Amino acid sequence: MTNGETKLFTMLDRYARNKHHCFLAEFFVDREHAGYFLCFRACGGRIDDPDRLKCVYLKIGVEEAKDMWSQRVLSNALVQEMDDELPELYKGVRDSREPLIKS
Which structural domain range is residue 70 located in? 3-91
**Does residue 97 belong to any structural domain of this protein?**
no
**Does residue 84 belong to any structural domain of this protein?**
yes
| Comparison of pLDDT for 33 and 66, the residue scoring more | 66
Q: Given this model, what pLDDT does residue 64 score?
A: 95
**Does residue 101 belong to any structural domain of this protein?**
no
**Does residue 86 belong to any structural domain of this protein?**
yes
How much is the pTM?
Answer: 0.84
**Does residue 96 belong to any structural domain of this protein?**
no
**Does residue 103 belong to any structural domain of this protein?**
no
Mean pLDDT in the chain? 87
Domain count, the chain: 1
* Percentage, residues of the chain above pLDDT 90: 64
Q: Given this model, what pLDDT does residue 92 score?
A: 66
Mean pLDDT score, 42-63: 85
**Does residue 102 belong to any structural domain of this protein?**
no
Q: Supply the DSSP symbol for 103.
A: -
